[in-house]
Homo-oligomer: A and B are copies of this chain.
């Protein structure tokens, strides 16, 4: 993944949040940095724990609030794979998620280019594809 410089990042964040009527705050920046830092689809709880290392006073509710702000502004995506905690992903390029049932890793995969055929009048805003199966490494080990 091409790294964006911090300054560019700031500007990008400010713009995207601004367009949604939200401000760029140190906490939102921090939460975004956590997502960028390791794109392993962490849960809100995991984001909280990682953010706390750099910003020990950050609270639980703030992390949820920041994640929601990022999602609303199109800076992150919410990924729900199962019963259980929601995960987050800063990769905004159209893609799906492959969940390995053996090692529980989540991989980003290409979407089919072909658009979904919707009933007349329905308007899609965005869609999520979650694929469950076994990843190459786990398949090999069997």
Contacts and interface: CB of A to CB of B under 8 A. Distances in A.
Interface of A: 78, 80-83, 86, 96, 98, 101, 107, 109-112, 114-137, 139-140
**Copies of this chain present:** 2
Given A123-B134, A136-B120, A83 B86 contact: yes
Contacts of A129: 116, 127-130
Nearest to A121: B136
Nearest to A115: B112
Contacts of A119: 107, 109, 136
Contacts of A128: 129-132
A128 B80 CA distance: 10
A102 B122 CA distance: 12
A113 B129 CA distance: 14
B114 A114 contact: yes
A137 B120 CA distance: 10
B112 A139 contact: no
A29 to B, nearest CB: 23
B135 A125 contact: no
Contact of A126 (B118, B122, B132): B132
